[in-house]
Amino acid sequence: MVHTDKEMKMNSRIKNFHSLTMNERKKIIAQKLGMSLKEIDDALGCKKLNTCALDKMIENVIGIWHLPYAVCPNFLINNKDYLVPMVGYEPSVVAAASKAAKIIREHGGFKAKADPPIMIAQVILYDVAKPNKAKKIVSENKNQIIKQGNRALPNLIKRGGGIKNITVVDYPAGTGYLAIELEIDVCDAMGANIVNTIAEYASPTIADLTKEKILMCILTNYAVKRKATSEFSIPVCQLSTKKISSEEFAKRIVSASRFAGLDAKRACTQNKGGFNGMDAVAMALGIDCQALEAAGHCYATSSGYGPLCKFQVRDDILFGKIELPIAAGIVGGISQTHPGVKFSLKLLRVESAKELAMVIASAGLASTTAALGALVTEGIQRSHMKLHFRKKL
């Protein structure tokens, strides 16, 4: 995806964006992207999605369910500006994320990173009588299995992807299970179809070598090899509110974070606050929200269910950080057919799946920070519910 110098220099900070009318916002975005208002309306109104295209997305289609499409400004990630697309129906999510991003932006923005796009496919054997023997055979024939699996998608191999490693996972004696895990570089795709295809292509070779039965071949949505992190740091003295001091505000944020580490019920709700932002971005980009949440909640159980975002104060600086597996792609699937997703990619200007994962993680950190800030000061109802009341007027 190639961008012009003008696009690369685009500033995501738009003054009073929330107070503008819808048409005024569209005009600003159209100008920044070098598009006409009609092009934006066509992309977001789904006029180009005919009945044939819709029928190919899911089954039994009878129409389109519309959701609001918003733009969340103020995101500065690794010194690059982003206008972040968000799709959803819950009030306060966009406003809260934008507000937190603005404060974080004023103090250097988010610092994010992401692992290479490695997905795991599991070829699962069952009724395995001699697991140690099967493990040894797989280990001794790794190269043959990799070569066979990679034949499934030669174009992926040309782009530098394909199986990079194989590990074998066994289970307690007597269960009879053995999982052959293929670690696959999916390049800039989310990768579900890729890893499933490669696993099914490699499985006959595994069965032939081990003389064991294949139960199933399927990716795991727990993309633990594909983590993304985002963090920020803000001087405590910059956190004062009308009601409490900056020191007390920071103390409450950290205390709330610590409590989430002790109580799974609170951690679950805090994590949901992060997914408010992450899911909204995922929806705008046609990314599998269920896979995103499944991986995130699974990762939260690494040492007893806990929060994905953590906060602490060191040397009078408030630090916030999020870490979780994120399988997100910018090629393949719906990104090739849905005009709204194409528009989101143009708006976001990401160059790789890794960069997209960093944006999603940053949206999750912004959303969590904003939610905690409201909870420990004025309470969630005052900030959240006034937007619910607004939509009823």
Q: What pLDDT score was predicted for residue 386?
A: 53
Contacts of 383 (CB under 8 A, 6+ apart): 92, 96, 374
Q: What pLDDT score was predicted for residue 319?
A: 98
Q: Where are the domains of the chain?
A: 5-15+51-115+226-392, 118-219
Can you tell me the distance from the alpha carbon of 379 to that of 373, in angstroms, rounded to the nearest whole number?
9
Fold designation for 118-219: Alpha-Beta Plaits (3.30.70)
Q: Rounded to two decimals, what is the model's pTM?
A: 0.92
Residue 264 has pLDDT above 60, yes or no: yes
Domain covering 5-15+51-115+226-392 in this structure, CATH number: 3.90.770.10
Residue 4 has pLDDT above 60, yes or no: no
- Pairing between strand 118-126 and 69-77? unpaired
Can you tell me the distance from the alpha carbon of 234 to that of 78, in angstroms, rounded to the nearest whole number?
15
Q: What pLDDT score was predicted for residue 179?
A: 98
Query: Where does the pLDDT of residue 51 fall: very low under 50, low under 70, confident under 90, or very high at 90 and above?
Result: low
Q: What pLDDT score was predicted for residue 121?
A: 98
Residue 25 has, within 13 A of its CA and on its CB side, a CA count of: 17
The token duo for 62 is 């009878």
Can you tell me the distance from the alpha carbon of 11 to that of 26, in angstroms, rounded to the nearest whole number?
16
Can you tell me the distance from the alpha carbon of 277 to that of 40, in angstroms, rounded to the nearest whole number?
23
Can you tell me the distance from the alpha carbon of 298 to that of 295, in angstroms, rounded to the nearest whole number?
5
Q: Which residues are catalytic?
A: 90, 272, 288, 384
Q: What pLDDT score was predicted for residue 138?
A: 97
